[in-house]
Amino acid sequence: MIILGIETSCDETSVAIVENGRRVLSVATASSEELHQKTGGIVPESAAREQLSCMIPVLEETLIQFQPKIKPQKALEKIDALAVTYGPGLIGSLLVGIETAKALSLVTGKPLVPVNHLEAHIFGNWLEKRPDQFPNLPGLALIASGGHTELILVNKKDKKYQFTFLGGTRDDASGECFDKCARVLGLDYPGGPAIAQSAQGAPEKLIGNPPLSLPRPMVDQKNLDFSFSGLKTAVINQVRKLREEGFLNEETKNFFAWEIQEAITDCLVKKTIQAAKKYPVGSLLLGGGVTANQVLREKLQEEANKLNFNLFIPGIRYCTDNATIVAAAAYFNYQPIPWSKITPQPSLSF
């Protein structure tokens, strides 16, 4: 089965064509990251307007990649089904993708599958793998992104995938914490990559003799929830104090970035391993933009090796928002519904 997926839940405009939920045939993605760098974060209306202008060119580019010798309209005839993210996300952005998918379904008569964006991140672990390389289930998924930080139990029964929410953030998401801490330090948006790059310049003398230690909220509690607002507040207060005292130089900024990265990844790893020990799972699955962080990957791999868990990490391009994971999710949980019944669900969860 060949599925064309559309993803517009946040600031990316992405279209992909995937065969049998794992083989990527073509993909095109337009990001408005440069636009949002000017404001230090995403402005929903600006994101939606940019997606509106990018949607048709991105769709055409994907179809041309898929079948370069024929017109894009004819290439659509070789698609078996359509898929689109219907939530969670920014409502204006979701509408751009949903209305495009509805129009394509109406014109072509192809079935349309609405996809939960969070589930899609999990199915990034099936892309570019043979069936014998798929994750063993039940598995535990950590979804960490700019808007979400959640632990999900993934199972399969009667050929249908099931998702059980185990815990999540009570306030800020881990990616949001990265972004806001980066802004406080005067680093670029998005904050995750900017902090990771700055952290590489952290001087050993400060790491060995830290001028501060940031909190790891809720890591010692027995629940599976996260909290990052206190960490963000601690960074704001410490940076303000050092700036007032004249000690916020480049070395100190780099150390702050290192400590922020350590604190966020420590929280994510501690809770994930706590959940893995509590539930009978054999696989750990990652998804979401924050899981592209190399330090997080290394820490989880080390813990997975100790506990004899198989750790599945999507390729970097499949961690961030893109339509390949949407098409994959539609294939593995194939449940088409009439296009007229699909509406955006900005606050959708599991």
Pairing between strand 12-19 and 2-7? antiparallel
Domain chopping of the chain, boundaries? 2-123+317-341, 137-313
Closest CA to 290 of 148, 93, 89, 87: 148
Output the average pLDDT for the chain. 94
CA 327 – CA 18 distance, rounded (Å): 6
Confidence at residue 346, expressed as pLDDT on a 0 to 100 scale: 96
Domain 2-123+317-341 has CATH 3.30.420.40: yes
**Quick check: do 2-123+317-341 and 137-313 share a fold?**
yes
Residue 291 has pLDDT above 90, yes or no: yes
CATH architecture of 137-313: 2-Layer Sandwich (3.30)
Average pLDDT over residues 256-281: 96
pLDDT, tens digit, 9 for 90 and up, residues 149-204: 999 999 999 889 999 999 999 999 999 999 999 999 999 999 999 999 999 999 98
pLDDT, tens digit, 9 for 90 and up, residues 190-227: 999 999 999 999 998 888 887 778 999 999 999 999 99
Confidence at residue 40, expressed as pLDDT on a 0 to 100 scale: 77
The two structure tokens encoding residue 244: 């007032």
Closest CA to 21 of 40, 44, 6, 2: 2
